[in-house]
Chain A
Amino acid sequence: MSAPLLEVRGLQTHYFTFGGSRIVKAVEGVSFALREGETLGLVGESGCGKTTTCLSIVGLLPPAARVVGGEILLNGTDLTKKSAREMRRIRGRAIAMILQDPMASLNPLFSIYTQVAEPAYYHLGMRRRSLRRRVEELLRAVRIPSPAMRMRGYPHQMSGGMRQRIVGAIALAGGPKLIIADEPTTNLDVTIQAQYLDLLMDLQQETGVALIFVTHNLGIVAKMCDRMAVMYAGRIVESGAVRDLFGAPKHPYTKALLGSMAKLGSKEPLFAIPGQPPDLARPPPGCAFHPRCADALPRCATQDPHDVQCGPEWTARCWLPQLAAEVMHDRADA
């Protein structure tokens, strides 16, 4: 891969509760990379560690959590080694984030102008007229009608869709290289969702910003993302180009996710992944997914698989591709 913008290597983030006697390994060995202008879809369900990964990248973990291993390289510099003050300069400037709930993201007591202007004010040192112009520009970029008038308004005067667009404007205000969007459309009306996604894609075209899109909706991934990484139990179980994974998923979990996507108009029965999520207090040995895996091998119950290369920039954390590779290798030898 040509010099990636962001490279996460073996990230480990743990939550320490009850005075340190209970450790939740929320992120355990996550690696992925992202080039400039690319869109990465981070897929998985609630609790799999996607949000913790994002918070680790921007350095805003809650006090009980800590990055205990791995590296986060932004243009080569390791973010995990940075001080709080240095991270503050990166947040909002080089890396911005869009949160899930538009109704709660904006401070009800401050005007739109104030909130959108803040990153530009603090990071770019803009003032007065140039600041005002910038805010107008940003609002126009996210397609808010009559920006000059709207900026004097307050959040409660705006609909959810509009607010989320303003959150987008805030993200762009500092001129970031990377935007992390944590399920930005989950709380929007279905009709607005598509609009918002189009907006994000257009913004990407215009500004060349890279995007990490966190979601549990594979339809969005198909539409928006170039690459995708599937997370389960704090690990990335498969990552690669969207086309590859959708076409021939290598990890059973990916297969199951794709299989459970309801296709409009199709008469196939809805398919749910059987079994229960692993017990928090007693995670199963071996592969985290093996209790629910239809194709589990005996090996899966005892040995945690490592990443297997399935193609250029395509890895899966499973014994099955390994096995397939071994079989093919044996065949080739024979």
Chain B
Amino acid sequence: MRQFIIRRTCYSIITLLILSLTIFTVVRLTGDPVTLMTEPGARPEDLARVRAEWGLDRSWPVQYAHFVQNIVAGNLGISFNYRMPVSELYFERLPNSLQLALAATLLSFLIGIPAGLLSAVRVDGVWDQAGKVVALLGLSIPGFWLGLVLILVFSVYLEWLPTGGKNDWRNLVMPSLALGWYFAASLLRLTRSSMLEVMRSEYIKLARLKGLPGYVVIAKHGFKNALVPVLTLAGVNLVVMVNAAVIIEVVFAWPGIGRLLFEGIFQRDFPLVQGVVVLAGVMIVFVNLLIDILYAYIDPRIRLNR
């Protein structure tokens, strides 16, 4: 078990290094980092200061060392526009993105899992066909377009829901739907196939042989087993959702880290853009590591082994 954790952590560190290296290299290759890191119209002293801070007048390996050092220390530069440390901005906005991701995940659970179960239980029936269509649409409809259409219908025409911003629960409805739609479709597919596989298993056959009522066989024996792989997927996905919600946050003006990134682009606030990207990667790697360790605790095969 300990070996597992150590090995896994090492992998994560390597991944982080490669990640930072990639970002570092890309910036260096395609632009002059100094001009990127300083505002347009900066004075020579500012340029010099930035050079010193990030070691930009030195050789690349040294620069990289500075880069990593800075990241580890939590220093990702100062945003031009906000005149605040990027990391501060990031963590300030992070809870909002988490909120949205959680709401979206919850919604997709509520839609995807029951639909998948229903599809499996009534295979090839009306529900199943509808489910297949939904699953297909989920993969084909761009989330942000769905968001726009929702706004059109519910804000402009029906005037039920607000178009954006973050005030109360009403603001959460449409963005969660737009964000969660894709995931709901994936859940539907996964639940359906998982359930179908479970229903074909021997222990379900035995349950039927016991003469148990149909609903007991499905609900008690089938359900529980079918949900195991589904929950696995869900755990990993939450993290991805937080970060991939960029475009939804933009559409709905939701003050999360995705929107922060967009602002950075729009306003040519390079430190902000770089900082958000780095932090996004770090966060995902970190959370993946945590999840893997958590699984090590839960799964007795790993726990009792090494």
> Interface residues, chain A, CB within 8 Å of chain B?
58, 60, 88-93, 96-97, 99, 101, 104-110, 118-119, 122-123, 167, 170, 173-174
Contact = CB atoms under 8 A, between A and B. Distances in A.
B224 A109 contact: yes
A107 B209 contact: no
Interface stretch (B94-102, B198-206, B284-292): B198-206
B278 interface: no
Interface stretch (B112-120, B152-160, B210-218): B210-218
Contacts of B208: 60, 91
A93 B211 contact: yes
Given A99-B206, A122-B216, 18 more contacts: A58-B209, A60-B205, A91-B208, A91-B211, A101-B202, A104-B203, A105-B202, A105-B205, A107-B203, A108-B203, A118-B210, A119-B210, A119-B211, A119-B212, A122-B213, A123-B211, A174-B210, A174-B211
A129 B298 CA distance: 33
A170 B225 contact: no
Nearest to B202: A104
Interface string B63-74: 000000000000
Contacts of B205: 60, 99, 105
A178 to B, nearest CB: 12
Given A107-B221, A109-B224, A109-B225, A122 B202 contact: no
A88 B211 contact: yes
Contacts of B210: 91-92, 96, 118-119, 122, 170, 173-174
A181 to B, nearest CB: 12
A182 to B, nearest CB: 10
B56 to A, nearest CB: 58
A130 B302 CA distance: 39
A105 B211 contact: no
Interface of B: 201-203, 205-214, 216, 221, 224-225
Nearest to B198: A107
Contacts of A99: 202, 205-206, 209
Contacts of A106: 203, 206
B211 A90 contact: yes
Contact of B225 (A108, A118, A119, A123): A108
Contacts of B202: 99, 101, 104-105
A170 B205 CA distance: 13
A122 B111 CA distance: 33
Contacts of B221: 107, 110
A107 B214 CA distance: 16
12 contacts: A91-B210, A101-B202, A104-B201, A104-B202, A105-B202, A105-B205, A106-B203, A107-B203, A107-B221, A109-B225, A110-B221, A170-B206
Contact of A167 (B201, B206, B224): B206
Contacts of A110: 221
A128 B37 CA distance: 73
| Residue among A60, A92, A173, A174 with most chain B CB within 10 A | A92
Nearest to B123: A63
A58 B206 CA distance: 12
A118 B212 contact: yes
Nearest to A180: B209
Contacts of A90: 211
B203 A92 contact: no
A133 to B, nearest CB: 19
A18 to B, nearest CB: 15
Contact of B213 (A58, A88, A105): A88
B22 to A, nearest CB: 42
A154 B98 CA distance: 38
A108 B203 CA distance: 9
A60 B211 contact: no
Nearest to A120: B210
Contacts of B212: 88, 92, 118-119, 122
B202 to A, nearest CB: 4
B206 A105 contact: yes
Contacts of B216: 122
Contacts of A91: 208-211
| Residue among A58, A91, A107, A109 with most chain B CB within 10 A | A107
Nearest to B211: A92
Contacts of B209: 58, 60, 91-92, 96-97, 99
Closest 5 CB pairs of A and B: A92-B211, A104-B202, A91-B211, A92-B210, A107-B203
A91 B208 CA distance: 8
A122 B203 contact: no
Nearest to A119: B210
Contacts of A123: 211
A122 B211 contact: yes
Given A107-B221, A108-B225, A109-B224, A89 B206 contact: no
